Structure 1
Amino acid sequence: MPALMKRVRFSSINALYSPVPTTPYVYTTSTSTSSSKSSHSEGSKPSKRRRHVSKLTTHSRSRPLDISVPITRIHYLLAFAPYQLPPLPYDLSTRPSIIKSFIPSDVLSEPATNPPVSSLIITCPHLRWEFPITPIPASSRKSSYVSVLDVLHALYRGLRLAVHPLEYEALPSLEVIANVNEAYYSRCNSTVDTKARQEEQVKGIKRVDFLMGRNRFLGLSKKSSRRDDGLVWELNVS
């Protein structure tokens, strides 16, 4: 670590919308046997050629295979649009409750995807961790789907987890270490209250600091892989 860098801290706790049009493949085959009556003249020999019958023609399927795959779409507030400003101006280092001041609660409680899902997984190319997203129990919402606010809360909680010293030491270069340290001090110094700022410093480096200041939420984009525990989406930041 460069000599000019300030000393960083670590936590004492080891916190280790629409379906695709169906294009069914129809496998319909049939067998037809024709018997031809032929009179053999006296002295003629019957043909010894054997008729080949393909195995594919011995079975028929009258019902088409249903191979339609529904497209899962993300809520417009969470959608990544590379050539537009994000519809949700949000700093991932701040509490999601601040969003309620300019986004109605009924909109934030809408399903994060269409169709709704009970779980998601979010990854980020700048981070080594995955963020599982599940519904937050709430008395006002009995549904079991992941909402827009569930996604933001889960990301905030996941990024607030403390970084283990071994994870810090595994950073690839001194330059990256310096950028992470700078993000840590910048985040702590953004707290106006002196006591609260000191408390934040004592809590040490957090996962959000590994974004190296790229805390602006740009939205989620769909990844091609799918898992048993939910759809996988990628977090875009700047």
Structure 2
Amino acid sequence: MPGRVRWSAANIFHSPPPPLASSSSSSAASSDGPLTPPVVHTGLPGPTPFVPRPSHYASRTIGRAHPLIAFYTPPLLNYDVSLHPSSISTHYRGVSTVGFLESATYPPETALTLITPHLPWAVIVAAANGCYVTVSDVLNAVYCSLRVNVTTVEFLTLGTNKLKHQVSEAYRRRYERLRGHRGYREEKQLGIRRVDFLMGYTKFKGISPASGRSSDVWQLHIS
């Protein structure tokens, strides 16, 4: 590993092991025992993203996502999950900031669990307004959960030197883009984060109901 790579001693953000893991694992905040590593595939780690269906957000009667974050190709929002949600843009007319305060799903939920085969962690989304999870809550939770530092134990679960190198390179590219700007030194010193496990594949594609799961569990799509 390059000498510049750093890890935190423990996680700052706590989330449960991913529901899709093939075996049980300890809390993400613990360094006792390895977490389930991503499945190795060419390109994006984990299975290839699901093929989208027309009007996918309305395809299941028990729940659908708000159009702003529903799984579309192309998605309504242009969002790189390695950046703060304030960087979001769109080419579609009629998108209002009011939409970000609306319920992320229908029926509304007080909390959501987002799972993805590309990461060994789930994203827990709480309702900031105390009533229902909003579109803004989902986007902020994804960003904050991916900003969590990776522990040495979690890094070692990658297994192969190739995967470790790819994650380390994703980390280097992430802080190098800030060179000459405020925050460069801090970003470099804080080390590898969960977003680096995506190895540069950080485009938000939306969420869709997770097959065979309860109504509060949703699939997070990233490419």
Q: What TM-score does the superposition give when structure 2 sets the normalisation length?
A: 0.72
Q: Partners in 2 of 1:95 and 1:220 — Cα distance?
A: 18
Equivalent in 66, 69, 83 of residue 75 of structure 1 = 66
2:79 matched to which residue of 1? Answer: 90
Q: Which runs of 5+ in 2 are unaligned?
A: 13-28, 30-56
- CA 1:90–1:116: 2 relative to 1, 3 Å: same
- 1:201-220 equivalences under 5 Å are 201-220=188-207
RMSD: 2.4
CA contact (8 A) 2:146 2:194 kept: yes
> 8 Å contact 1:225–1:232 — kept in the other structure?
no
- Cross-structure match for 2:175: 188
Identity percentage of aligned residues: 39
- 1:232 — aligned with what? 217
Q: CA 1:198–1:136 in structure 2 vs 1: closer, same or farther (change >3 Å)?
A: same
Letter in 1 for 2:62: I
Q: What residue is the counterpart of 1:8 in the other structure?
A: 5
Q: Displacement of 1:19 after TM fit?
A: 11
| Contact 1:10 1:203 survives alignment (8 Å) | yes
Q: 1:72 to 1:189 in 2, by over 3 A?
A: same
Distance 1:18 1:185, change over 3 A: closer
Q: Which has the larger radius of gyration?
A: 1
CA distance in 2, matches of 1:169, 1:19: 39
Task: Work out the CA distance in 1 between the residues paired with 2:11 and 2:88.
Answer: 30
Q: What is the correspondence of 1:150-165 to structure 2 with a 5 Å cutoff?
A: 150-165=137-152
In the other structure, the counterpart of 1:129 is 121
Rounded Cα–Cα distance in structure 2 between residues aligned with 1:18 and 1:89:
21
User: What does residue 171 of structure 1 align with?
Assistant: 158
Deviations 1:63-121 (A, max 9, x none): xxxxxxx520011111113xx21111000011112338985321111110111111110
Q: Deviations over 1:114-166 (max 9, x none)?
A: 111111100111100011111124xxxxx611110100000111000000110
CA distance in 1, matches of 2:11, 2:64: 36
Residue ranges of structure 1 left out of the alignment (5+ in a row): 21-69, 138-142
State the distance in 2 between where 1:113 and 1:150 align. 11
Partner of 2:88: 99
* 2:134 is the counterpart of 1:147: yes
Deviation at 1:194, TM superposition (A): 5.0
Following TM superposition, by how much is the alpha carbon of 1:200 offset from its aligned partner in structure 2, in angstroms?
0.5
Q: State how far apart, in whole Å, the 2-side matches of 1:184 and 1:19 are.
A: 37
Aligned mates of 1:177, 1:184 — CA distance in 2: 11
State whether residues 78 and 90 of structure 2, in contact with CA within 8 Å, keep that contact through their aligned partners in structure 1. no
Q: Is the 8 A contact 2:79 2:89 kept in 1?
A: no
**Against the structure 1 CA distance between its residues 104 and 212, is the aligned structure 2 distance closer, same or farther, given a 3 Å change threshold?**
same
Q: TM-score, normalised by structure 1?
A: 0.67
